[in-house]
Amino acid sequence: MLPLPQEAGVPDGVFQVVHGDKEAVDAILNHPDIKAVGFVGSSDIAQYIYATAAATGKRSQCFGGAKNHMIVMPDADLDQAVDALIGAGYGSAGERCMAISVAVP
């Protein structure tokens, strides 16, 4: 994912992906040169980041607690649909924000 902004001409250092704990998050949220943050993850952490960013004057975009649906159409190949549902629901042990949590027949 990271090479895409560079390929589009975004200058180095403008787009960063950071993995870290609360200490890393707080360092980012309290750094005066960082003007905006984005987050994808749990609702509790999204709320914390949103509130802290607002308190420090940063722009933020936080996505937390996604519920993703899969619709199985009446003419669908059921073997293929079940295979896709299992992979989408349980891939990465279901611990990713885009995991399917609801299937609608």
The domain locations on the chain are 3-64, 68-104
Measure the CA–CA gap between 105 and 65, rounded to whole angstroms. 23
pLDDT at site 94: 62
Residue 36: pLDDT band with limits 50, 70, 90:
very high
> Residue 92 pLDDT > 80, yes or no?
no
Q: How far, in whole angstroms, is CA 25 from its chain's centroid?
A: 15
pLDDT at site 72: 94
Can you give the pTM of this predicted structure?
0.62
Active-site residues, by number, are 97
Share above pLDDT 70 across residues of the chain, in percent, rounded to a whole number: 96
Distances (CA, A) of 20 to 25, 26, 59, 65, 88: 7, 10, 20, 19, 25
